[in-house]
């Protein structure tokens, strides 16, 4: 009888359902946290052919590859400022890459995700592009919160300067000076020389124009349809080929990251490759509120599968969410105010819409708008423009359906989204006025 009872107890023990994996880190087992940020990379060019390592990261166990990920202001400096601060441009005051309303000099860097991590026991590193207007290789200033500082010139591939914690450096035009290679080596060096926990912000220049590829990748995608930048040296440079170097760097960094690491991969904004945008015609570049500009790749990956967001793969997520989300994933909290949504919260509720906003001096691309899964609404500052308001249906499958302006035909939706934009875009961009 005792033997039978023992066997029954053993069977009951073996049949216990495993405890679900936690959505946040447990105290005493803090994960490392790594943000990898590319520059001007399109959301739809993360493929097995163009970016095999990033694609594999997105689809491995422990990863969430978000399908509705957007930036709130599709331009380098404002977007990166939002990542660091967890705040919208209308709060940071960083609307542009330079001038009185943008750039490094406009950013109050005393309260950032790096300061939060460092003040709560993490070693921190910024490797790569910081903010436009920070003159790496000339400036000696190191912002608060960074244990390791290795900042390079914005948009640099060759002949570029670096500011470190202690030195000013310069790299030339040899293959080994290619910026993606150097930055990868610095990131790997930080990871391999530091014990947990650490926070790494690995911020790359590629594939930003002029999008010069690593010499190993020149011509790799010569037969592919691609946005091409012409160069003074007599060759064309490819965003796809430049991004392939980013993918190689990501693969090499992943090889040395400890299993107890959270990786967040994204781009600072998208990029239009001659998309047809209603009556505006074909367009290239960024800053506009259109899908190819504001939509970005975004991957949350727990390398050992131990931490997962509550946010669903199809929810609207944004760069403004990263400060609070990554800190909470590590079992920490933002030490000052922020404006994002915490994807890890048990009380998480998906947002219905996201504010999009931009200021552009001397252009018509100053706007306040709203993006939902299915629609994009934008009201532009220059009401004398031919298209002062735009309302587009967004195809959730292809991501591109911005052909017919619905402002005059769907007035109920227009009025709803106008009211949402007026409420959220506060304060409005400089000089912007509401009726």
**Per residue, what are the HEC states of the chain?**
CHHHHHHHHHHHHHCCCCCCCCCCCCCCCCCEEEEEEECCCCHHHCCCCCCHHHHHHHHCCCEEECCEEECCCCCHHHHHHHHHHCCCHHHHCCCECCCCCECHHHCCCCCCHHHHHHHCCCEEEEEEECCCCCCCCCCCCCCCCCCEEEEECCCCCCCEEEEECCCEEEECCCHHHCHHHHHHHHHHHHHHHCCCCEEEEEECCCCCCCCCCCHHHCCCCCCCCCCEEECCCCCEEEHHHHHHHHHHHHHHHHHHCCCCEEEEEEECCCCEEEEECHHHCEEEECCCCCHHHHECCEEEEECCCCCCCCCCCCCEEEHHHHHHHHHHHCCCCCCCCCCCCCCCCCCCCCCCCEEEEECCCCCCCCEEEEECCCEEEEEECCCCCCCCEEEEECCCCCCCCCCCCCCCCCHHHHHHHHHHHHHHCCCCCCCCCCC
Torsion angles phi and psi, residue 357, rounded to 5: -155, 150
Assign 159 a pLDDT band (cuts: 50, 70, 90): very high
Residues 6+ apart with CB under 8 A from 275: 282, 283, 290, 291, 292, 400, 402
pLDDT level of residue 17 (50, 70, 90 thresholds): very low
pLDDT at 18: 39
pLDDT of residue 385: 63
* Mean pLDDT (the chain, rounded): 90
- Please, which pLDDT band fits residue 27 given cuts at 50, 70 and 90? low
Q: Check pLDDT > 70 for residue 397.
A: no
Residue 386 has a pLDDT of 65
- pLDDT at site 344: 98
Task: Give the least confident one: 207-221, 250-264, 380-394.
Answer: 380-394
What percentage of the chain exceeds 70 in pLDDT? Answer: 89
Report pLDDT for 230: 58
Q: Is the dihedral of CA 401, 276, 291, 392 positive or negative?
A: negative
What is the average per-residue pLDDT within 18-46? 81
Q: What is the mean pLDDT of residues 263-275?
A: 94
Handedness of CA 319, 320, 321, 326 (dihedral sign): positive
| Mean predicted confidence (pLDDT) in 166-180 | 96
How high is the pLDDT of residue 196? 79
| Residue 401 reports pLDDT greater than 70 | no
At residue 125 the predicted structure's pLDDT band, cuts being 50, 70 and 90, is very high
Task: Give the contacts of 124 (CB within 8 A, at least 6 positions apart).
Answer: 114, 117, 118, 145, 146, 147, 148, 198, 199, 200, 201
Confidence (pLDDT) at 228: 73
Q: Residue 334's beta-bridge partner residues? A: none
CA distance 274 to 225: 11
Residue of 128, 114, 399 lying closest to 246 (CA atoms):
128
Query: Residue with structure tokens 């359902």?
Result: 17
Q: Express each pLDDT in 343-371 by its tens digit.
A: 999 999 999 999 999 999 877 789 999 99
Does residue 155 carry a pLDDT above 90? no
Cβ count within 10 A of residue 60 = 15
Q: Are the CB atoms for 265 and 36 separated by under 8 Å? A: yes
pLDDT band at 7 (very low <50, low <70, confident <90, very high): very low
pLDDT at residue number 3: 39
Residue 116 and residue 110: Cα distance in Å, rounded? 10
pLDDT band at 132 (very low <50, low <70, confident <90, very high): very high
Q: Please choose, from the candidates 110, 73, 111, the residue with its C-alpha nearest in 3D space to the C-alpha of residue 95.
A: 73
Q: What is the pLDDT of residues 57-86, one digit of tens each?
A: 999 999 999 999 999 999 999 999 999 999
- Structure-model confidence comparison of residues 85 and 16, the more confident one: 85
123: its two tokens: 């070693």
- Cα separation, 85 vs 257, in Å, equals 25
Q: Which of 142-146, 150-154, 265-269, 281-285 has the lowest mean pLDDT?
A: 281-285
> What number does CATH give the domain 32-351?
3.40.720.10
Is 381 in contact with 432 (CB distance < 8 Å)?
yes
Cβ atoms within 10 Å, residue 204 = 28
**Regarding predicted confidence, which is higher, 396 or 66?**
66
* pLDDT at residue 108 in the model: 95
For 187-218, the pLDDT digits (tens) are: 999 999 988 799 999 999 999 998 999 999 99
Distance of CA 432 to the CA centre of its chain: 27
Instruction: Give mean pLDDT, residues 237-252.
Output: 94
Burial class (CB in 10 A: 0-12, 13-18, 19+), 67: middle
The predicted model gives 335-346 an average pLDDT of 97
Which position has the higher pLDDT, 13 or 361?
A: 361
Task: Using alpha carbons, select from 222, 209, 219 the residue that is nearest to residue 273.
Answer: 209
Q: Is residue 402's pLDDT more than 90?
A: no
Higher confidence at residue 431 or residue 387?
A: 431
Among 254-263, 313-322, 379-388, name the one with the lowest average pLDDT: 379-388
pLDDT tier, 400 (very low <50, low <70, confident <90, very high otherwise): low
What's the length of the chain?
Answer: 435
Residue 2 has pLDDT above 90, yes or no: no
């Amino acid at each position: 009888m005792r033997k039978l009872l023992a066997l029954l107890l053993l069977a009951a023990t073996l049949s216990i359902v495993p405890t679900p994996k936690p959505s946040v880190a447990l105290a005493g087992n803090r994960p490392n946290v790594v943000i990898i940020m590319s520059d001007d990379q399109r959301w739809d060019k993360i493929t097995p052919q163009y970016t095999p390592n990033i694609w594999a990261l997105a689809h491995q166990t422990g990863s969430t590859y978000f399908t509705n990920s957007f930036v709130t202001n599709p331009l380098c400096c404002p977007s990166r400022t939002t990542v660091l601060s967890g705040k919208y441009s209308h709060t940071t005051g960083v609307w542009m890459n330079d001038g009185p309303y943008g750039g490094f000099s406009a950013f109050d860097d005393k309260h950032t995700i790096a300061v939060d991590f460092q003040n709560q026991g993490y070693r921190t590193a910024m490797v790569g592009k910081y903010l436009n207007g920070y003159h790496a290789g000339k400036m000696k200033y190191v912002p608060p919160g960074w244990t390791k500082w290795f900042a390079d010139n914005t948009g640099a591939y060759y002949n570029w300067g670096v500011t470190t914690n202690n030195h000013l450096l310069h790299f030339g035009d040899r293959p080994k000076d290619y910026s993606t290679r150097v930055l990868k080596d610095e990131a790997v060096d930080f990871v391999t020389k530091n014990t947990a926990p650490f926070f790494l912000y690995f911020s790359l220049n590629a594939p930003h124009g002029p999008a010069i590829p690593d010499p190993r990748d020149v011509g790799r995608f010569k037969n592919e349809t691609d946005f091409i930048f012409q160069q003074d040296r007599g060759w064309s440079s490819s965003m796809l080929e430049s991004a392939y170097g980013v993918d190689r760097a990501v693969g090499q960094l992943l090889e040395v990251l400890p299993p107890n690491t959270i990786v967040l991969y994204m781009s600072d904004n998208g990029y239009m490759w001659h998309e047809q945008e209603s009556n505006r015609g074909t367009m290239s570049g960024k800053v506009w509120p259109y899908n190819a500009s504001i939509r970005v790749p975004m991957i949350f990956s727990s390398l050992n599968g131990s931490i997962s967001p509550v946010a669903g793969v199809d929810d609207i997520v944004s760069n403004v969410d990263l400060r609070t989300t990554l800190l909470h994933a590590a079992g920490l909290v933002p030490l000052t105010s922020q404006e994002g949504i915490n994807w890890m919260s048990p009380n998480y509720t998906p947002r219905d819409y996201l504010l999009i906003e931009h200021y552009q001096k001397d252009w018509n691309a100053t706007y306040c708008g709203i993006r939902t899964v299915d629609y994009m609404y934008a009201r532009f500052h220059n009401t004398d423009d031919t298209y002062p308001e735009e309302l587009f249906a967004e195809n959730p499958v292809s991501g591109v359906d911005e052909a017919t302006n619905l402002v005059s035909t769907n007035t109920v939706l227009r009025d709803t989204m106008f009211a949402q934009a007026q409420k959220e875009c506060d304060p409005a961009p400089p000089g912007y006025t509401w009726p």
